Amino acid sequence: MKIDPDKCTSCLSCIPYCPMNCIAEGDDGTAIDEDECVDCGVCRNVEVCPEEAIYMPAEAFEYPRAIRMQFSDPSVQHPNLKAWGRGTEEAKTNDVTGKFGKGDYGMLFEFGRPGTGARFREIEKITTAICAMGIDILEDNPISGLIADKTTGTIRPEFRDEKILSAILEIRIDDSQLAAVVDKVIPLLDDVDTVVSVGLVSRFDDNDELPVIGALRSLGITPRPNAKINVGLGRPIVE
Amino acid sequence: MSHSLHRFGKPEDLKNDFCIYSRAAKGINRDDCGDKLRRTLEIYLKNDVVNFGSSHAGRNYLSGLKPDEYAKTLDNSYGIIATFADRNAVKGVLAQLKEVALGISVVVSGLIDEVKQIAYEVGLRPHTALLSLGIYGKRSLLPADDVLAVTTMCGHSLVSAALAREVIDKVKKGKLTPEQGARTLARPCPCGIFNTKRCAELLEKQRSTAQ
Ligand code: SF4
Ligand code: SF4
């Protein structure tokens, strides 16, 4: 995103809206730090600029920079998914897809969320660690299209330094792999130069309980009390 | 899209914070689901919806998205999400969605025990959960908990910490009412999952503790 210096009056109205905190007033007026900007569009879309000085320059649509808006602006469809979402359907439609059976788990690592943004070189630290464990990164997910080598998990070099608002890495594991993933991957997140929100998809059991909560507790993780729950209205339902 | 998952806050603050997402599945019931989504929107609107939105239109209901115009765009969509601030509204939506039996999946975000209980009350059973295991990595980059409770109501992180701090400050100084502050903060969230009622309550608490 850019600010047109000929239009901007440095009223500073746009500054607080930037989630990356990358708009600032300098000696030459108010400007956007292009390297920190993720092209999320908020500063322009909230329509606070009285001069309509904020615009998306042509270079923001060029490869590889275009990846920024694809991962940051929810109004931009992701080319890997041809959809507006940022991940797979995971739990949302599991009542009809049956993608996750009892004893299967989906794990979601959301880099840069909440509110810090992430560079792909940080995400690569975890994609490579996961591939080294012999676990595949789910296809049909925006990150999978950026991986150069599916056996090693390396990210295509031209994307490594690109910064995005957030990206979700998704894997699928079963009961027997849960402890290994928690023990090996969760500590590695401490070495990533951003925050990572972690989610886990699980089926309820026949008593409408989630046994995985006890399993996670014994591994030192207490899930938050709020969750997303598929209430089984899809048809035909996968029991 | 796990964007209504990681809403941060104390359980008592999350008690009246729900999102309902009706979503068709690729290869199963996604083709021609526009009419089902329009029916869903009608049900949301009848049940005290707080907000909803369209990332494609870049606008939410509270910032001027017109339900009729939004409804026309639903042929190009495969899901519809809305925010509610009251268990009775959620119960009403689920009961009516069950009755009309559209056959598309429905996901409710909220406190696990509360969502399960509401589901039971309308004769539904929970099928699958997406749990939040929390935030890891460089947590020193995160803002204070009161700011995080506000910003995480936009799951795409489009509501900035700086704006939340500015609004909290203005509410404390009496320059904005909690409701005005909540509206300002909801504007950057085009999907409309920013819960302005919960936000106004959080801002009111900040104002009263500051006095
Ligand atoms: S596009 Fe987003 S990240 Fe870039 S300056 Fe605007 S608000 Fe900030
Ligand atoms: S809102 Fe517009 S005029 Fe004001 S500082 Fe930002 S770009 Fe400049």
pLDDT in 10s for each residue of chain B, 211 residues:
457 788 999 999 999 999 999 999 988 888 889 999 999 999 999 999 999 998 888 889 999 999 999 999 999 898 999 999 999 999 999 999 999 999 999 999 999 999 999 999 999 999 999 999 999 999 999 999 999 999 999 989 999 999 999 999 999 999 999 999 999 999 999 999 999 999 999 999 999 988 7
Q: b or e along A103-142 (b: 16 or more beta carbons within 10 Å of the residue's beta carbon)?
A: ebbbbbbbbbbbbbbbbbbbbbbbbbbbbeeebebbeebb
Instruction: Write down the pLDDT at residue A70.
Output: 93
Instruction: Write down the pLDDT at residue A192.
Output: 97
Residue A214 has pLDDT above 60, yes or no: yes
CA distance A74 to A53: 22
Instruction: Write down the pLDDT at residue B48.
Output: 96
Residue nearest to ligand 1 atom 5, measured at CA? A37
DSSP state of A84: S
The dihedral built from the CA positions of residue B159, B165, B166 and B168, taken in this order, carries a sign that is: positive
Atom nearest to A30 CA in ligand 2: 5
pLDDT confidence bin for A86, thresholds 50/70/90: low
Q: State the nearest Cα–Cα gap between B176 and chain A, in angstroms.
A: 16
Instruction: Write down the pLDDT at residue A80.
Output: 59
Interface of B with A in 80-119 (CB under 8 A): 94, 97-98, 101-113, 115-116, 119
Instruction: Write down the pLDDT at residue B32.
Output: 84
Atom nearest to A10 CA in ligand 2: 5
- For residues B9 and A81, the model is more confident at B9
Range with the lowest mean pLDDT among A69-83, A138-152, B19-33, B72-86? A69-83
CA distance B150 to B144: 10
pLDDT confidence bin for A89, thresholds 50/70/90: low
Instruction: Write down the pLDDT at residue A77.
Output: 77
**Phi, psi (degrees; rounded to nearest 5) at B133:** -95, 5
CA distance A33 to A28: 13
Q: What mean pLDDT is reported for chain A?
A: 93
Range with the lowest mean pLDDT among A182-196, A217-231, B24-38? B24-38
Q: How remote is the CA of residue B160 from the centroid of ligand 1, in Å?
A: 10
Q: Is B39 helix (H, G, I), strand (E, B) or coil?
A: helix
- Considering only CA atoms, which of B49, B81, B54, B79 is closest in space to residue B69? B54
Q: State the nearest Cα–Cα gap between B210 and chain A, in angstroms.
A: 22
| Chain A to chain B Cβ contacts (< 8 Å) | 288
Residue contact B28–A208, C-beta within 8 A: no
**B1–A contact, CB cutoff 8 A:** yes
Which chain B residues are Cβ-neighbours of A224 within 8 angstroms?
6, 131-134
Q: How remote is the CA of residue A65 from the centroid of ligand 2, in Å?
A: 24
Going from the C-alpha of B87 to that of each of A186, B49, B130, B177, B186, the distances in angstroms are: 35, 11, 20, 25, 21
Cβ neighbors of B20 (< 8 A, separation 6 or more) are B44, B81, B82, B84, B90, B93, B94, B106, B107, B108, B109
pLDDT confidence bin for A181, thresholds 50/70/90: very high
Nearest neighbour of A190 by CB, restricted to B129, B137, B162: B137
Contact A179, A218 (CB under 8 A): no
Q: What is the pTM of this model?
A: 0.95
**B194–A contact, CB cutoff 8 A:** no
Instruction: Write down the pLDDT at residue A84.
Output: 46
What whole-number percentage of chain A has pLDDT above 90?
A: 84
Provide the residue type at B200 as one letter.
Answer: A
